[in-house]
A and B are shown apart, each in its own frame.
Chain A
Amino acid sequence: MSDRETSGAIDDTAALWAARVDRGPLSNDEQSALDAWLDADPRRLGAYARARAIDLRLDQARVFGADLAEFQEQEKAGPSRRGLIGVGATAAAGVGVAAVLLRDKLGPLTDYRTRKGEIRVVPLADGSDLTLNTASEVTVRYSQAQRDIRLINGEALFNVAKNPERPFVVQIDDMLVRAIGTSFTVGRRDDGSLRVLVREGVVEVSRTGGEHAPVRLVANTRLIAAAGVPPRAAAIPPAEVTRDLAWREGMIAFEDTSLAEAAAEFARFSDTRIVIEDPEVSSRTVSGLFSANNPIGFANAVALSLDLTITADAREVRLGQAAPPHQTS
């Protein structure tokens, strides 16, 4: 028994094979080599399965990449950077919303738009940038006194270069979102509700009518304004902010999201619809990070992990209950 290969040595080789499979499909020769290696000791198959399972588990860690980014950013930035943003925002708040209404010489108006499934990063003249989500449109007009953005459709993320002398204002419908040096998204959903999500810094939200005092939103806050009800602002965890912005990378992130909601989210990006008729199925939840323009890939992953049946054609993918499992024990 003493000259037996140690479990640790088996794990070493198993990790190499799992990494090889992680790279892509094996060639026939490689498959034969793997099979030969596995055949020599039953423990090897177990070690290899374990290594593969860990590798697959890591793919599911992707959705938590937000935590990692946050973690690293905090290490890098330290407290001083946050302090500075706070001071800048406070000073600029004194300039007042009135600035929004003071139009001076208007600069040229530029229009940017994306088609469904398209995401576009637009660098702006002052060092700010905006990222347009799927099926979105903005107009940009910079003047001496102000940077005016109008969101016509969809959703956009704004990373604003700090300049207290020249407020950065995004208007959507009758809502004005005013920032100095910060990062935030503004969008309208299909139901007409308006959303603002603040990633960094502080923004001020007001209505064009001006009858309400502006609302200040700090980092990691989401504001939802639907017709007929007062706007609601709520603090959300930083990880959720980053998940919410997964679309910048062409991804959609879910965490305990119902399949019905997930299907609706994919519909924003792709014309291939995900159809779920069974309410029991559509209420089941999913977590993970998925490619926004690949609803079929998403449906396959869901079908596999939730044990659902899947049928697909060019226009739609249907998910349903699998037949009851057959007893093999």
Chain B
Amino acid sequence: MARLSDIRAQWIANHVLAHEPALRAFLSARRVVHLEVDDIIQETYAILVGLESVDHIQNAKRYMFQTAKSVMLQHLRRARIVSIESVAELDRFGLAIDEPSPEHQAGDRQELRRVIALITRLPEKCRQVFILRKMDGLSQHEVSERLGVSESTVEKHVARGLRTLMESLRTGGNGGSGASSHSEASSQPQGERRKIHVRSGDQRRH
């Protein structure tokens, strides 16, 4: 099992993370068989960690999509349920990787602003810890001294905040509350799934 180096984690932070919502939207709309989007995402990241080098990757988004596709194929082979439909779906999958990515232009700044908006909505204590740790750049140790709480309490707040942000990235950056309406779509008939999924992200905004 590969270990996660700081350098690779940084590379993922800088080049991959921003494309996750696009990949999720894509997978959700084209899902085949009983394969959870979250599983594919996690395995995709695992493969990116395991790569010996990422120097050759010019287009991280494309690489991420291709990796996700290979994860799907592997699952399909293992499950022996390659229907004609699913192969067709995968073809479409392949085509879409070549599409230009307008959201790439949206840029770091917008993404970070969204993150900041999320931080401001964290529960009081958790937000306090996050602001000191991430905005003011104090270490967890320094944060614990500043707030007069134990280091393990600070660590717990960091974990809670991270978990919320992980969830918000999963649900399209609209706060961490709606966690699990995702999988409901899989019980829908194939034809309707697409529409339903596109809406599910928007519903949470109201």
Contacts and interface: CB of A to CB of B under 8 A. Distances in A.
Given A7-B38, A57-B17, A304-B10, A326 B55 contact: yes
A64 B120 CA distance: 13
B140 A45 contact: no
Contacts of B158: 19, 22-23, 55
Interface stretch (B39-47, B87-95, B98-106, B194-202): B39-47
Interface residues of B, number: 65
Interface in B18-59: 20, 34, 36, 38-39, 41-50, 52-53, 55-56
B97 interface: no
B46 A49 contact: yes
A325 B54 CA distance: 9
Contact of A8 (B38, B113, B115, B135): B38
Interface string A285-329: 001010100000000000011000000000000000000011111
A68 B135 contact: yes
A215 interface: no
B49 A46 contact: yes
Given A19-B159, A19-B162, A325-B55, A50 B42 contact: yes
A45 to B, nearest CB: 4
A57 B162 CA distance: 11
B17 A15 contact: no
Contacts of A56: 9-10, 13
A53 B11 CA distance: 8
Contacts of A326: 53, 55
B55 A328 contact: yes
B72 interface: no
B13 A61 contact: no
A24 B49 CA distance: 21
A45 B4 contact: yes
Contacts, number: 178
A179 interface: no
A180 to B, nearest CB: 31
B156 interface: yes
B45 A45 contact: yes
A58 B134 contact: yes
Contact of A45 (B2, B56, B131, B155): B2
B193 interface: no
Contacts of A18: 159, 162
B146 interface: no
B145 interface: no
A52 B156 CA distance: 15
> Most A CB atoms within 10 A — which of B7, B39, B115, B134?
B134
B12 A50 contact: yes
A325 B134 CA distance: 32
Contacts of B135: 61-62, 65, 68
A16 interface: yes
Contacts of A43: 39, 42-43, 46
Interface in A1-50: 1, 7-8, 10-12, 14-16, 18-20, 22-24, 35, 38-39, 42-50
A60 B112 contact: yes
B41 A46 contact: yes
A249 B137 CA distance: 10
A112 interface: no
Contact of A67 (B1, B116, B131): B116
A163 B113 CA distance: 38
Nearest to A20: B155
A47 B39 CA distance: 9
Contacts of B141: 23-24
B46 A42 contact: yes
7 nearest A-B pairs in the assembled complex, by CB-CB distance: A46-B45, A7-B38, A46-B46, A19-B159, A325-B55, A46-B42, A65-B135
26 contacts: A7-B38, A8-B180, A14-B166, A15-B163, A19-B155, A22-B155, A23-B154, A24-B141, A42-B42, A43-B46, A45-B4, A45-B46, A47-B42, A49-B12, A49-B45, A54-B17, A54-B165, A58-B130, A61-B115, A61-B135, A64-B113, A287-B108, A289-B137, A305-B14, A327-B55, A328-B53
Interface of B: 1-4, 7-10, 12-14, 16-17, 20, 34, 36, 38-39, 41-50, 52-53, 55-56, 108-109, 112-113, 115-116, 119-120, 130-131, 133-137, 139-141, 151, 154-156, 158-160, 162-163, 165-167, 169, 179-180
Given A53-B9, A60-B108, 5 more contacts: A7-B38, A23-B158, A52-B13, A53-B10, A62-B134
